[in-house]
Amino acid sequence: MEKFYITTPIYYASGKLHIGHSYSTVAADTAARYKRMRGYDVMFLTGSDEHGQKVEEKAREAGVTPQQYVDDVVSGFKELWQLLNISYDRFIRTTDDYHVESVKKIFKQLYDSGDIYKGRYEGLYCTPCEAFWSETQLVDGKCPDCGREVKKATEEAYFFRLSAYAGRLLAYYDSHPEFIQPVARKNEMVNNFIKPGLEDLCVSRTSFQWGIPVDFDPGHVVYVWVDALTNYITALGYGNDRYGDYDKFWPADIHMVGKEIVRFHTIVWPAMLMALGLPLPKKVFGHGWLLLEGGKMSKSKGNVVDPHILCSRYGVDAIRYFLLREIPFGSDGVFSNEALIHRINADLANDLGNLLSRSTAMCDKYFGGEIPEQRAATAFDGELETLAKETKAAVEDHMESLEFSSALAKLWAFVSRTNKYIDETTPWALAKDESRRGELASVIYHLCESLRIIAVLLTPFMPSTGEAILSQLSADARDWDSAGDWGRLSGKGIQKSEPLFPRIDEAEELKALEALMGQREEKKAEIEGIAQIGIDDFTKVELRTARVAACEPVKKAKKLLKLTLDDGTAAPRTVVSGIAPWYRPEDLVDHTVIVVANLKPAVLCGVESNGMILAADNGENDVRVIFADGLNPGSKVR
């Protein structure tokens, strides 16, 4: 079986991810899913880049250790990738033991071979980008990547002898024209970086500790590119015993990266691999950026760029579709909530959604929901069948060159053509004439079969939608090759369901988003306005889990419920809670709640309450008890 190894960059664990970060991951996921469907043995790697000064600072601000800080951030990454349906095979953290072990070895090996040497760094450093720049690389005296101030920095440091590799790199580019994609990026590397002369690269720091120690020189930590780039091989088991996949998967087929780190992947990384005597990746694809009108993604300027919010409002697949369809993969593109809503309405609700609902509704109406067999052909069938075949071939071509947007455009041309087929064949007219029943059957079959093919081809991009359409059609043939095989849909019943993409009222939605952003700002101000407490204050509150053994209303008190709790002690505990407007007593029995166990008793409407249970204001007039089901009664909450 042929293998396919694809990677995303490892994401900096120094903050939250926005929709721009989801871009590379969704693209890599689509490529990985596509290759799996084509029968490849796929390794799809992603991960987190966890060391550095920024993490150290943020952890200090948060009052936690750097490790605690990154653990928390990384669990957020994983949760986001799950939400976005990212089918990674492996997730590497640069704090993983096996990676640390390999990096130490690699650093030492490069030192022993003379490719790393000790020197003094005096340069211009951009702290947010964690990159040193030379005078000539600055744009208007500022960091060429982010446009922020750079500052002079000097320290004793180890250097990687990058300057020695210019000739070999150029020769490699020449003999491997497919190595850097899109081609314009290659010219940029050659003209802007290699030709003016490569400078050696600083690969260690002494100004902070949060990094992999240089074993043979205490005080120095490896930073950052030897630590970061090597993840692509350590994750396969290079230099460690954790995995044994190096021989199988290296060299990588594609490193998918944003354009600002192409330099590191096509100059530094190959040079490092040459120094280690290892083969080079086959392709580095530098995609463009998702921008906001006039600004960087991190400054959201009134647009909602939090992928969690976007997914919860429009569904994961709508977001995946937008990212891949809106912008040709190599270019920059602008993200806006309007553009997203337009795409959802035009392409998903109208084109695809209507095709599905019209087709299934007609199948229901004219054939009782049983997909009929193809009988007498209509004059329009041949063209549709031919286009189905051509579409599959075109999608494949575009996927080979990672042209996601073009692949989807071709697929949507087929969706439109199928919609047009309905207008051409006028099934409602055929239905009035019993002698044309055969043609009507053919039309319905063609619609359903086209939808099956569309769904299969769509699956790498929008996995749940592909699946949902195939299920509605009760289609068995779901594999990639079946999309090139007209007539694989067997005459089973269709399973109608809710529209996949309801139309969005744009004006209303934009208003709602604005309100949401406003609420977030208000919440932020509210929280910031509250006086801080020390951990000693917090630990004065004793929180325990407790099972609701019984529950009843409190007489003459509309809002109160009396709960009898098993808090893990022998004696039942009585707590009175003002949650009657939101819960019936039977809704609570047998659930586990969290109780403030050391609250002084108070008498409420004649009942003595020993503590209170935790609940949250989930919105206006919506109070939710915090359940802790599954935990043993009496567990300490901290």
Closest CB 49 distance from ligand MSP, rounded Å? 3
SS (H, E, C) 320-382: HHHHHHHCCCCCCEEECHHHHHHHHHHHHHHHHHHHHHHHHHHHHHHHCCECCCCCCCCCCHH
Contact 235, 45 (CB under 8 A): yes
How far is the C-alpha of 137 from the C-alpha of 260, rounded, in Å?
13
Judged by CB under 6 A, the number of residues near ligand MSP is: 19
Q: What is the dihedral of CA 313, 314, 320, 324, to 10 degrees?
A: -120
Q: Is 228 a residue that touches ligand MSP (CB under 6 A)? A: yes
Closest CB 261 distance from ligand MSP, rounded Å? 5
Beta-sheet pairing, 151-160 with 116-126: antiparallel
Q: Rank residues 23 and 133 by Cβ distance to ligand MSP and give the closer one.
A: 23
Q: Rank residues 166 and 334 by Cβ distance to ligand MSP and give the closer one.
A: 334
How far is the C-alpha of 586 from the C-alpha of 552, rounded, in Å?
8
Structure token digits, residue 366: 């004219």
* 3-class DSSP assignment, residue 105: helix
Closest CB 70 distance from ligand MSP, rounded Å? 12
Q: Rank residues 23 and 414 by Cβ distance to ligand MSP and give the closer one.
A: 23
Q: Is 415 a residue that touches ligand MSP (CB under 6 A)? A: no
Cα of first residue to Cα of last residue in the chain, in angstroms, is 50
Q: Is 582 a residue that touches ligand MSP (CB under 6 A)? A: no
Closest CB 287 distance from ligand MSP, rounded Å? 7
Q: Is 74 a residue that touches ligand MSP (CB under 6 A)? A: no
Closest CB 290 distance from ligand MSP, rounded Å? 4
What's CA 579's distance to the chain center, in Å? 38
Closest CB 494 distance from ligand MSP, rounded Å? 39
How far is the C-alpha of 243 from the C-alpha of 574, rounded, in Å?
54
Residue nearest to ligand MSP (CB): 258
Q: Rank residues 116 and 257 by Cβ distance to ligand MSP and give the closer one.
A: 257
Contact 591, 547 (CB under 8 A): yes
How far is the C-alpha of 528 from the C-alpha of 518, rounded, in Å?
15
Nearest residue to 46 (alpha-carbon basis) of 26, 69, 72, 70: 26
Q: Rank residues 228 and 344 by Cβ distance to ligand MSP and give the closer one.
A: 228
Q: Rank residues 237 and 611 by Cβ distance to ligand MSP and give the closer one.
A: 237
SS (H, E, C) 573-586: EEEEECCCCCCCHH
SS (H, E, C) 206-256: CCCCCCEECCCCCCCEECCHHHHHCHHHHCCCCCCCCCCCHHHHCCCCEEE
Q: Is 133 a residue that touches ligand MSP (CB under 6 A)? A: no
Closest CB 255 distance from ligand MSP, rounded Å? 8
Closest CB 299 distance from ligand MSP, rounded Å? 11
Q: Rank residues 4 and 223 by Cβ distance to ligand MSP and give the closer one.
A: 223
Structure token digits, residue 293: 């009108």
What is the residue type of 126?
A: C
Site string for ligand MSP, 593-622 (x = CB under 6 A): ------------------------------
Closest CB 271 distance from ligand MSP, rounded Å? 14
CA angle, 403 then 408 then 414, to 5°: 135
Q: Rank residues 207 and 298 by Cβ distance to ligand MSP and give the closer one.
A: 298
Q: Rank residues 102 and 418 by Cβ distance to ligand MSP and give the closer one.
A: 102
Q: Rank residues 129 and 512 by Cβ distance to ligand MSP and give the closer one.
A: 129
Closest CB 130 distance from ligand MSP, rounded Å? 8
Give the helix ranges, DSSP H, for 381-433. 381-400, 404-425, 427-430
Q: Is 330 a residue that touches ligand MSP (CB under 6 A)? A: no
Q: Is 240 a residue that touches ligand MSP (CB under 6 A)? A: no
The Cβ of residue 130 has, within 10 Å, a number of other Cβ atoms equal to 19
Stretch that binds ligand MSP, among 252-260, 405-413, 434-442, 577-585 (CB under 6 A): 252-260
Closest CB 121 distance from ligand MSP, rounded Å? 20
Q: Rank residues 329 and 367 by Cβ distance to ligand MSP and give the closer one.
A: 329
What's CA 53's distance to the chain center, in Å? 25
Q: Rank residues 129 and 543 by Cβ distance to ligand MSP and give the closer one.
A: 129
Closest CB 231 distance from ligand MSP, rounded Å? 6
What are the residues whose beta carbons fall under 8 Å from the beta carbon of 502, sequence distance 6 or more? 349
Residue with tokens 């071979």: 113
Closest CB 408 distance from ligand MSP, rounded Å? 18
Structure token digits, residue 228: 């970061």
Q: Is 201 a residue that touches ligand MSP (CB under 6 A)? A: no
CB-side exposure of 49: number of CA atoms within 13 Å? 23
How far is the C-alpha of 385 from the C-alpha of 382, rounded, in Å?
5
How far is the C-alpha of 311 from the C-alpha of 558, rounded, in Å?
39
Structure token digits, residue 620: 């206006």
Site string for ligand MSP, 2-41 (x = CB under 6 A): -------xxxx-------xx-xx-----------------
SS (H, E, C) 277-311: CCCCCCCEEEECCEEECCECCCCCCCCCCCHHHHH
Contact 374, 445 (CB under 8 A): yes
Structure token digits, residue 418: 């199928």
User: Which positions from 37 through 66 interact with ligand MSP, judged by CB under 6 A?
Assistant: 49
Q: Rank residues 363 and 408 by Cβ distance to ligand MSP and give the closer one.
A: 408
Q: Rank residues 51 and 544 by Cβ distance to ligand MSP and give the closer one.
A: 51
User: Which positions from 255 through 314 interact with ligand MSP, judged by CB under 6 A?
Assistant: 257-258, 260-261, 289-290, 297
What is the residue type of 442?
A: S
How far is the C-alpha of 158 from the C-alpha of 221, rounded, in Å?
10
Stretch that binds ligand MSP, among 77-85, 172-180, 225-233, 599-607 (CB under 6 A): 225-233
Closest CB 47 distance from ligand MSP, rounded Å? 9
Q: Rank residues 9 and 353 by Cβ distance to ligand MSP and give the closer one.
A: 9
Binding residue for ligand MSP (CB under 6 A) from 229, 327, 340, 483? Answer: 229
Q: Is 69 a residue that touches ligand MSP (CB under 6 A)? A: no
Closest CB 77 distance from ligand MSP, rounded Å? 10
Closest CB 517 distance from ligand MSP, rounded Å? 18
User: What is the enclosing helix (H) or strand (E) of 615?
Assistant: strand 615-619
What's CA 30's distance to the chain center, in Å? 11
Q: Rank residues 26 and 575 by Cβ distance to ligand MSP and give the closer one.
A: 26
Site string for ligand MSP, 508-547 (x = CB under 6 A): ----------------------------------------
| Backbone torsions φ then ψ of 152, nearest 5 degrees | -65, 135
Instruction: Please report, as ranges, the residues that interact with ligand MSP according to CB under 6 A.
Output: 9-12, 20-21, 23-24, 49, 228-229, 231, 257-258, 260-261, 289-290, 297
